[in-house]
Amino acid sequence: MAVKLRLTRSGSKKRPFYRLVAINSSTSRDGRPLEFLGYYNPLSNPVEISLDQEKIQKWLDQGAQPSDTVRSLLKQTKS
């Protein structure tokens, strides 16, 4: 079972809101996640990013691979 850290989309049409989740890599984008790790709201000004660093680090230590977008969000929150 390969676990990925990726974004799931919620919100309404033309008003996206994303949740960062740990999910099995073969599951669909909006499928049932293993755990919720935070959220990302690109429409607010400034952009709203809230991540649970402890949970994310736990999944990374277990071998979960972040998607490219999640990797860039993690870099933004560390700086």
Any idea what DSSP says for residue 27? S
Q: What is residue 41's predicted lDDT score, i.e. its pLDDT?
A: 94
pTM: 0.87
Closest CA to 66 of 7, 5, 22: 5
Using CA atoms, how far apart are residues 73 and 20, in angstroms rounded to an integer? Answer: 10
List the domains of the chain with CATH numbers.
Answer: 3-78 (3.30.1320.10)
Containing 48, the helix (H) or strand (E) segment is strand 48-51
Chunk the chain into consecutive blocks of 10 residues (it has 79) and report each block's average pLDDT, rounded to whole numbers: 90 94 89 93 92 94 94 87
